[in-house]
């Protein structure tokens, strides 16, 4: 590090617990949650570290203005905002807090799925309107279904652990790992998941390979009608393809915490058409990118980040 007291620029809004943790770990910091990209580039030069959440894109242009930068901390799980090839070329270490919100993400996935299978949101709306329709809200038991998980890292494995408690069969596929089957999920190929899964849950990062992964072709290759859970990145799923799957009965329902465009006031015409269908459907549960966004995880993410940065300093 360039100084006895490493200095960090915090460029996004963070839970205040982070400040005490950094001070106790021997770091100096400058908290600028409202900083613009242009301002960030102009002031980053003297800092050893940068901590971001979801606002800041770290690319070659920004890094070229940061000759002393030694590490970047992402207060969250995904690293798609960071040019990892460029950080590796420059010898900049990158930390993220995937384990900090995995429990929250897993609970969100199971909660949304249970709500969909049991028609909880639909039934709640109807009862509030004076409609008492028991047969129309007959649900399905999670334990009777096979769940396929794509991506078996922090979030995928935490979700499998909770699903296993319901007695359902859980299959997991992860192209970057081997021998990862455990007491909660059986290691499987993508082809096996497509053949056997009643529920498909996505726990993968956004990359060129995963962008629009769930499209018309993917949906058509699923052997049986299935429920989709996407609490990873919205761009992984084509919403237009999802709508077509719902209309054709190939998709039984969807739990979406993320959308391919989350700026709802700036949707393209095609995105608006798809979103209008999804928001009016009783077979879809929508939440505003809050999986992992609990009061507990807000603090735990900071604990995980600071522990990693502290280990690097040591």
Query: pTM of the entire structure?
Result: 0.91
Distance separating alpha carbons of residues 195 and 265, to the nearest angstrom: 38
Checking DSSP bridges between strand 251-256 and strand 146-150, what pairing results, if any?
unpaired
Q: Tens digits of per-residue pLDDT, 162-178?
A: 999 999 999 999 999 99
pLDDT at 54 over 90: no
Please state the rounded mean pLDDT for residues 229-239. Answer: 97
The predicted pLDDT at position 2 comes to 45
Lowest-confidence range among 66-80, 100-114, 134-148? Answer: 66-80
Is residue 28 packed enough to be buried (19+ CB in 10 Å), middle (13-18) or exposed (0-12)? Answer: middle
| Band of residue 66 on the pLDDT scale cut at 50, 70, 90 | confident
| Band of residue 76 on the pLDDT scale cut at 50, 70, 90 | confident
| SS3 at position 40 | helix
Residue 58 per-residue DSSP state: B
pLDDT at 207 over 80: yes
**CA 177 vs CA 151, 160, 171, 201: distances in Å:** 9, 16, 14, 17
Strand order of the sheet with strand 28-31? 28-31, 7-10, 49-52, 71-74, 93-96
Q: Which residues pair with 169 in a beta bridge?
A: 146
Is residue 27 packed enough to be buried (19+ CB in 10 Å), middle (13-18) or exposed (0-12)? Answer: buried
Element (H, E) at 290: none
Question: How close are the terminal C-alpha atoms of the chain, in Å?
Answer: 11
| Band of residue 1 on the pLDDT scale cut at 50, 70, 90 | very low
The predicted pLDDT at position 314 comes to 59
Please state the rounded mean pLDDT for residues 6-32. Answer: 93
Q: Tens digits of per-residue pLDDT, 245-262?
A: 999 999 999 999 999 999
Mean pLDDT, all residues of the chain: 94
State the DSSP string of 197-261: -SEEEE-----TTTTT-BSHHHHHH-SS-EEEEE-S-GGGB-HHHHHHHHHHTSEEEEEES--S-
pLDDT at 159 over 50: yes
pLDDT at 125 over 80: yes
The predicted pLDDT at position 75 comes to 87
Catalytic residue positions? 233, 262, 289
Please state the rounded mean pLDDT for residues 154-160. Answer: 96
Element (H, E) at 129: none
Distance of CA 205 to the CA centre of its chain: 8
Please state the rounded mean pLDDT for residues 53-62. Answer: 89
pLDDT at 87 over 80: yes
Residue 98 per-residue DSSP state: G
The predicted pLDDT at position 4 comes to 58
């Amino acid at each position: 590090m360039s100084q006895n007291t490493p200095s960090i620029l915090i460029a996004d809004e963070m839970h205040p617990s982070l400040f005490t943790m950094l001070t106790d770990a021997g770091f100096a910091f400058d908290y600028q949650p409202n900083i613009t990209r242009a301002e960030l580039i102009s002031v980053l030069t003297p800092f050893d570290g940068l901590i971001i959440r979801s606002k800041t894109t770290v690319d070659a242009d920004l890094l070229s203005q940061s000759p002393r930068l030694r590490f970047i901390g992402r207060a969250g799980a995904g690293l798609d905002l960071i040019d990892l090839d460029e950080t590796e070329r420059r010898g900049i270490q990158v930390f993220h807090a995937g384990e900090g919100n995995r429990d929250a993400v897993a609970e969100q996935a199971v909660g949304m799925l249970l709500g969909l299978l049991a028609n909880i949101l639909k039934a709640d709306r109807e009862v509030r309107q004076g409609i008492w329709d028991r047969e129309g809200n007959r649900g399905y038991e999670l334990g009777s279904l096979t769940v396929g998980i794509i991506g078996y890292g922090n979030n995928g494995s935490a979700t499998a652990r909770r699903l296993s408690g319901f007695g359902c069969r859980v299959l997991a596929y992860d192209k970057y790992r081997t021998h990862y089957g455990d007491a909660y999920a059986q290691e499987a190929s993508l082809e096996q998941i497509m053949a056997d899964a009643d529920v498909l849950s996505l726990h993968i990062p956004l990359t060129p390979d995963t962008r629009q992964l769930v499209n018309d072709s993917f949906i058509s290759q699923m052997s049986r009608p299935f429920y989709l859970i996407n609490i990873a990145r919205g761009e992984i799923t084509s919403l237009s393809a999802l709508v077509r799957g719902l209309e054709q009965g190939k998709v039984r329902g969807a739990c979406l915490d993320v959308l391919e465009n989350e700026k709802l006031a700036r949707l393209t015409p095609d995105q608006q058409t798809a979103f209008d269908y999804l928001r009016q459907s009783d077979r879809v549960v929508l939440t505003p990118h809050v999986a992992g966004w609990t009061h507990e995880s807000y603090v735990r993410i900071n604990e995980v980040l600071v522990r990693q940065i502290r280990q690097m300093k040591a």
